[in-house]
Structure 1
Amino acid sequence: MTIPDLSVSLGYWQDRPPEEALLTAETADRLGYGELWIGEMATYDAFALATRVAGVTGEIALTLGPLPVSVRDPMTIARGAASVAGLTGRRVGVAIGTSSDVVVAGWHGRDRRRAGTALRESAVALRQLLDGNKTTFEGEVVRTRGYHLRLPAPESELTIAAFGPAAVRTAALHADRMVLNLITPRSAAVLVERMRDEARKADRAVPRVAAWVTAAVDPSEAALEQIRRAVVGYLAAPGYGEMFGEAGFEDLVRFARTRPHPRDLLAEIPEELVAAVGLVGDGDAVRSRLEEYAAAGVDEVALVPVSVPDDPCGGRTMAALRALT
């Protein structure tokens, strides 16, 4: 059975030095991966980091984001993408999403209450701007008037991060690609079919599907612990809790929803849960899981390689997965 195409996403692990992102990017490029996802979290500005990444890599394509639409407006996203493309000569894609209350309301002090509307309207306005059109768009949440790029239009591929029904429909109607995060193959299959149905109803070409998947081949205990910490915040979240429950972890989800101290919840997360949403194990186990994602309709897996002392920057994991292709 075939496996999805593979790309690499920077992990920004909180327990690792931020500058490791550049080493991960260099390694991904050296190993021949075709695309690098550059998100935006607590450290680097995505556009600044992408420009620097281009200086230390050879030819890997860059996808910026997902950028939160309640924080980044279409004009600044389009101008940023065109800036990176113009300064680096790279193919530059753009990904957008709704992000979280912690990021949008907490860090940025912005209103996230109509994030679904902002996502849909941003996708429409952004497509026009990325194609170099002079754009006037008056939505309920998103507005832009009279701007067009002075730089060459990057004509970027537009990716939309989705999980809930509204975001999946927006991806179906407006994206070139939908991306899913922290997803089991079973849940991915449901969302892929829902997106395909929406695209067919609109008589639109069906977008491709990518999934971000944390990866650790032949993981050490440190690698497993890093992934456990990454999933703690999702166990009680609406939608994600139900997904983990369907995967056989109902008791853990119930415990998470009692709001225990994070360290107590972390101690209860088994390796089986980590493997349910990751590429974790030996080469055969990882290939089998990739085949499951392919069967679910996932066209591409964006690897988020662990970075721990015994596998700094995820180099060993990236090399092992590259060998599968």
Structure 2
Amino acid sequence: MKLSVSLGLWQDRPPEEALETARAAEAAGYPELWIGEMATWDAFALGTAIGAATSRISLTFGPLAVTVRDPATIAMGVASVAALTGRSTGVALGTSSDIVVRAWHGRSRDRAVTALAESAIAVRQLLGGEKSTVDGKVAGSTGYRLRLAAPKSPLTIAAFGPRALDVAARHADRMVVNLVSPAAAATLVRGLREAASRIDSTPPPVAAWVVGAADPGPAEVEQLRRGVVGYLAAPGYADMFRAEGFGALVDFARTRPHPRELLAAVPVEAIAAVGLLGSRAEIAVKAAEYAAAGIDELAIVPATSDDDPGGAKTLAACRSAAVPFDAWA
């Protein structure tokens, strides 16, 4: 099983801590760092800074919301970081959430899966050095070619629903899923394989973003509990948490309680259902469950705190726990 690291971009921590996590990931020997884009950093600006602060780790941007960023700006951003840092780069595309797309950016999520497919084609063309030819219904690019060297970056697709799985099967070099239990991961892997079979294609490998905390203290547990709150009532995720035995918690979340009340109701077991938590032995057992579910790569999202700034302790523990998976690197 391959391991990589994804920045947590935790809202309760200093934004600059992202650089500490990047340095810790490289020091622990992880080959790849995912740089998402949420409420704080522009992903490409942060990637350029990380390139200056580290020496060799490869950088994957996203998943970037395809109804917020268009294919040309995505390709320019990826190529810019590759040129300025000399690093290998990748990019992940996704549809994101109503909060990010509609509320924060004032954009529509209508026909988001169509935009995902159209963006995938156009971004691949551009990053491969071709002139873009996609005149899409929602997203596209025509007549543009990168002036910077084409980085030929691999393309990852974030998928959760059936239509996004179809897009991943058709267009992705890798698929990524976020905050899923091993059982939910197995269902998504099976869906991807079925989608690939329908078009007589080989399914791409699947990565799972999983939160991690080695022997977590109260601060890390609180941070991870906050990270789960927004998913409890979300379509699909609610069913997953219910299947994991947290039906009463899902029902409570759907009553729209005050966030403080919902946070107080989240048990640590709900986090452990979708992440790597505890001792090295416990982390190894959970990693094996993901491997058995068909996950090819775990992207660790480390918890951070004053006791473990940047998540260095967790990243070292997860790497150590994964030693039996001798194909991880």
Give the TM interval when normalised to the shorter protein: over 0.9
Separation of aligned partners in 2, 1:196 and 1:183? 18
Correspondent of 1:154 among 120, 139, 151: 151
Q: CA deviation at 1:10?
A: 0.5
Please give the secondary structure, in 2, of the residue aligned with 1:248.
coil
Say whether 1:249 aligns with 2:242: no
What corresponds to 1:308 in structure 2?
A: 305
Q: CA deviation at 1:323?
A: 1.7
Gaps spanning 5+ residues in structure 2: where? 324-329
Say whether 1:170 aligns with 2:181: no
1:6-17 equivalent positions in 2, closer than 5 A = 6-17=3-14
1:230-269 equivalent positions in 2, closer than 5 A = 230-269=227-266
1:118-267 equivalent positions in 2, closer than 5 A = 118-267=115-264
Amino acid at match of 2:90: G
Say whether 1:112 aligns with 2:109: yes
Please give the secondary structure, in 2, of the residue aligned with 1:59.
coil
Separation of aligned partners in 2, 1:277 and 1:34? 23
What corresponds to 1:23 in structure 2?
A: 20
Amino acid at match of 1:240: Y
What corresponds to 2:276 in structure 1?
A: 279
Assess if the C-alpha contact under 8 Å between 2:280 and 2:320 holds in 1: no
Q: CA deviation at 1:196?
A: 1.1
Q: Which moved further from structure 2: 289-298 or 104-113? A: 104-113
Q: What is the TM-score when the length of structure 2 is the normalising length?
A: 0.96
- 1:60-98 deviation digits (Å, cap 9, x = unpaired): 010011110001000111111111111111110000101
Separation of aligned partners in 1, 2:200 and 2:122? 21
Separation of aligned partners in 1, 2:162 and 2:281? 34
Separation of aligned partners in 2, 1:209 and 1:119? 17
Q: CA deviation at 1:18?
A: 0.1
Please give the secondary structure, in 2, of the residue aligned with 1:234.
coil
Assess if the C-alpha contact under 8 Å between 2:67 and 2:139 holds in 1: no
Separation of aligned partners in 2, 1:6 and 1:229? 24
Please give the secondary structure, in 2, of the residue aligned with 1:219.
coil
Amino acid at match of 2:144: Y
Q: Which moved further from structure 2: 291-300 or 304-313? A: 304-313
Amino acid at match of 1:193: R
Amino acid at match of 2:89: V
What corresponds to 1:72 in structure 2?
A: 69
Separation of aligned partners in 1, 2:291 and 2:46? 31
Runs of 4+ in 1 over 4 A off after TM superposition: none
Q: CA deviation at 1:321?
A: 1.3
Please give the secondary structure, in 2, of the residue aligned with 1:244.
helix
Separation of aligned partners in 2, 1:269 and 1:71? 32
Amino acid at match of 1:214: V
Q: How many residue pairs end up in the alignment?
A: 322
Separation of aligned partners in 2, 1:323 and 1:270? 27
Amino acid at match of 2:213: A
Root-mean-square deviation (CA), in Å? 0.9
Q: What is the TM-score when the length of structure 1 is the normalising length?
A: 0.97
Separation of aligned partners in 2, 1:217 and 1:27? 15
Separation of aligned partners in 1, 2:174 and 2:8? 20
Separation of aligned partners in 1, 2:294 and 2:149? 34
Q: CA deviation at 1:217?
A: 0.8
